[in-house]
Amino acid sequence: MIRLWHVAQSRSFRVLWALEEMGLEYQLEHCSFFDRSLRAPEHLARSPAGRVPAAEIEGESMCESGAILLTLAERFAPELRVGEGEAARAAFLEGLHYAETLGAHLANLTQHHIVLREDWMRSPTVMRLEAARLRNALKAVGPGWVAGRFTVADIALGYAVYLAQRFVALPEGAAAYLAACEARAGFQRALAADGPAEIYRHAFYPAPEE
C-alpha cells in the first residue's frame, strides 16, 4: 500500500507523477498550506519539517521527494532508474540532483512573489537576481532526457522546469524538454489528479523592473 500526502502545485507533484508513470495503486491525501494540517502532530510524525510530500510505502515513511523517487524506482520500476555500474549512472545522478539547484532558485522566487504578500516585505533586487540565475541554470537543461532515456531524474528535473516557466522565459532546449515531459500520459494523469491551484494563481510572475 502506498499513501501520498500532497498539496497541489507543490514538490509532492513529483511523487504523484512518478506513481502515475509506474502505474502503481496509491491513496492520495490532499492537504493544504492554509489550514494548519501540516503542523498537526500526526503529520509532523511523517514529515518533521511540516511539508509535503510525505509518503508511506509498504509501511515505511519517507518525506524527501528525491529519495522517494529513487526508492519507488528501485522497488517497483527499475526501468526508470540507472543502476550502479551502468554507463549513464553519472548523468542520471547529475540530473536528479540538478533539480535541486533549480529548486533553490524557484523557492526564493516563490517566497518573494507569493508568500511575502506585502510589497514592503519583498526585495526587487533578489527577485531580479534569482530570475537571472534561474535563466542561466536552465541553459543546461534539455532537449533530451538526462540519461538518454526517461527516468525519475527527468521527473525531478521536469517538475522544476514546469515551475520555472512561471518566472522566466525558458531557453529553447528547456522548452523542448518540458514539451516532452508534458506530452507523457503519466504527467497528464498526475496533472488531472493534482487538485485546485494552491500556490500559483497566475501564469507568469515577472521580475520587477529596475
Judge whether 204 and 166 are in contact, CB under 8 Å.
yes
Q: Assess whether pLDDT exceeds 90 at residue 145.
A: yes
Give me the chain's average pLDDT, please: 96
DSSP state of 78: G
Q: Which domains does the chain have, with CATH numbers?
A: 2-80 (3.40.30.10), 89-193 (1.20.1050.10)
pLDDT tens digits, 6-29: 999 999 999 999 999 999 999 999
The long-range contacts involving 83-89, CB below 8 angstroms and separated by at least 24 positions, are 88/147, 88/148, 88/149
Using pLDDT thresholds of 50, 70 and 90, give the confidence band for residue 210.
confident
Give the Å distances, CA to CA, from 184 to 34, 112, 144, 188: 31, 31, 14, 7
Rg, the chain, Cα only: 17
| Grid cell digits, residue 50 | 511540516
